[in-house]
Structure 1
Amino acid sequence: MTKIGIVGLGIMGGPMASNLLDAGFEVIGFDLVTSSLERLSAAGGNVASSAGQAAAESDVVITMLPNHPQVEAVALGEGGILDSAKPGTLYIDMSTIRPETARRLAQVGGDRGLRVLDAPVSGGERGAIDGVLSIMVGGSEEDFASAQPIFAPLGKTIVHVGPAGAGQTVKAANQLVVGGTYALVAEAIVLLEASGLDASVGLDVLAGGLAGSRILELKRKSMVAREFRPGFRIDLHHKDMGIILDAARDAGVALPVGNLVAALIASARAQGYGQLDHSALLKVAENLSGKGDAA
Structure 2
Amino acid sequence: MNIHFPKEETACRLAIATIGISNMRPDSPIGFIGLGTMGAPRALNLARAGTPLVVWNRTRNRCAPLEQAGATIASDAAELFTRCETVILMLENDTAMDTVLDRLGPEFTSRVAGHTIVSMGTVSADYSKHPADDIRSAGGRYVEAPVSGSRKPAEAGQLVGMLAGEPEDIARLRPILAPICKEIFDCGAVPAALHMKLAINTFLITMVTGLAEAAHFARRHDLEMSRFTDILNAGPMASDVSRVKIGKLAQHDFTRQAGISDVLKNNRLVVEAARDAGIASPLMDACHALYSETEGLGLAEDDMISVVRAIEARTERALASTGIPPHNH
Q: TM-score, normalised by structure 2?
A: 0.84
Report how far residue 160 of structure 1 moved: 0.9
Does residue 288 (structure 1) correspond to residue 314 (structure 2)? The answer is: yes
Report what 2:4 is aligned to.
none
CA distance in 2, matches of 1:157, 1:46: 27
Does residue 152 (structure 1) correspond to residue 187 (structure 2)? The answer is: no
Counterpart of 2:189 (choices 163, 171, 194) is 163
Residue identity matched to 1:23: A
Report what 2:250 is aligned to.
224
Report how far residue 214 of structure 1 moved: 2.8
Change in 2 beyond 3 A, CA 1:175/1:79:
farther
| Count of matched residue positions in the alignment of Structure 1 and Structure 2 | 292
CA distance in 2, matches of 1:237, 1:68: 17
CA distance in 1, matches of 2:304, 2:268: 15
Report how far residue 109 of structure 1 moved: 0.9
Runs of 4+ deviating beyond 3 Å: 77-83
Residue range with higher mean Cα deviation, 199-208 or 255-264: 199-208
- The CA deviation string for residues 83-106 of structure 1, in whole angstroms up to 9 with x for no partner, is 32451x221100000012211111
Report what 1:69 is aligned to.
95
CA distance in 2, matches of 1:127, 1:79: 38
Q: Is the 8 A contact 1:58 1:85 kept in 2?
A: no
- The CA deviation string for residues 146-194 of structure 1, in whole angstroms up to 9 with x for no partner, is 1011111100121011211111111111222121111111111111122
Does residue 140 (structure 1) correspond to residue 158 (structure 2)? The answer is: no
Q: Is the 8 A contact 1:136 1:159 kept in 2?
A: yes
Residue range with higher mean Cα deviation, 228-237 or 206-215: 206-215
Report what 2:111 is aligned to.
84
Counterpart of 1:273 (choices 285, 288, 299) is 299
- The CA deviation string for residues 185-206 of structure 1, in whole angstroms up to 9 with x for no partner, is 1111111122222223312321
Mark the structure with the bigger radius of gyration: 2
CA distance in 2, matches of 1:257, 1:156: 30
Q: Is the 8 A contact 1:74 1:81 kept in 2?
A: no
Structure 2: any 5+ residue segments left out of the alignment?
A: 1-26, 321-325
Q: Is the 8 A contact 1:53 1:84 kept in 2?
A: no
DSSP-derived class of the 1:117 partner: strand
What is the root-mean-square deviation in Å for CA atoms of aligned residues? 1.8
Q: TM-score, normalised by structure 1?
A: 0.93
Report what 1:112 is aligned to.
138
DSSP-derived class of the 1:32 partner: coil
Structure 1: any 5+ residue segments left out of the alignment?
A: none
Change in 2 beyond 3 A, CA 1:253/1:232:
same
Q: How does 1:93-242 map to 2 (within 5 A)?
A: 93-242=119-268
Does residue 23 (structure 1) correspond to residue 49 (structure 2)? The answer is: yes
DSSP-derived class of the 2:194 partner: helix
